Amino acid sequence: MSEQQQPVFTIEKIYVRDLSLEIPNAPGIFLEREPPQVNLQLNTENQTIEDALYEVLLTVTVTAKVKDTVMFLVEVQQAGIFRIRNISEEEISPVLGIGCANILFPYLRETVSDIVTRAGFPAVILNPVNFEAIYNQNQSKAEAGSSTEADVKVNTKKN
């Protein structure tokens, strides 16, 4: 019985926790022919639900503007519940901030693309994100007492 227990990592549930779409200048904005400037802000959070059960939340805000006029604003909170056991306390944080975020990102990407297209706009395709770099940046900012929000570039694709 002296063997160390093997690490356990399972995905319990992946879901959209919150979804918001605003088109404040409809219907006139649909007549605009100039390509929009797209700004993306991405945030990661996690919390312990109970022993060995964690929720990881990716929040993205996508704002598209033509000149100073907002074309659309999308906010998505993509979440997952993960069961993680037999992993040291120092290793839990990177597993949540990097590993779990990487699992959730494709779902977040699909949700953003789908909702923007269904709203009648050209698809917004989120570029891949290096969650390890974001995690390290957030750790540095947390040590300095700053915010943990990261700006990320996106590609826009016309239909």
Domain span including residue 53: 17-144
CATH number at 70 reads 3.10.420.10
Q: Identify whether 86 is part of a domain.
A: yes
pLDDT digits (tens, 9 = 90+) for 137-159: 888 887 887 544 454 544 443 33
pLDDT in tens, 64-111: 999 999 999 999 999 999 999 999 888 999 999 999 999 999 999 999
Residue 129, in any domain of the structure: yes
Which stretches does DSSP call E strand in 23-96? 37-50, 53-66, 69-85
Residue 8 lies in a domain: no
| Residue 108, in any domain of the structure | yes
Other Cβ atoms closer than 10 A to 84: 19
54-67 pLDDT, tens digit each: 999 999 999 999 99
- The single residue listed with the structure tokens 């063997």 is 3
Residue 3 is assigned to a structural domain of this protein: no
Phi-psi region of 145 (alpha: psi -120 to 50; beta: other; left: phi over 0): left
Q: Is position 44 within any domain?
A: yes
What radius of gyration do the chain's Cα atoms show?
18
What's residue 57's pLDDT? 97
Residue 48, pLDDT above cutoff 90: yes
157 lies in a domain?
no
Q: Say what the pTM is.
A: 0.84
**Mean pLDDT computed over 28-49:** 94
| Residue 7, domain member (yes or no) | no
What is the number of domains present in the chain?
1
Tell me what pLDDT residue 3 has: 58
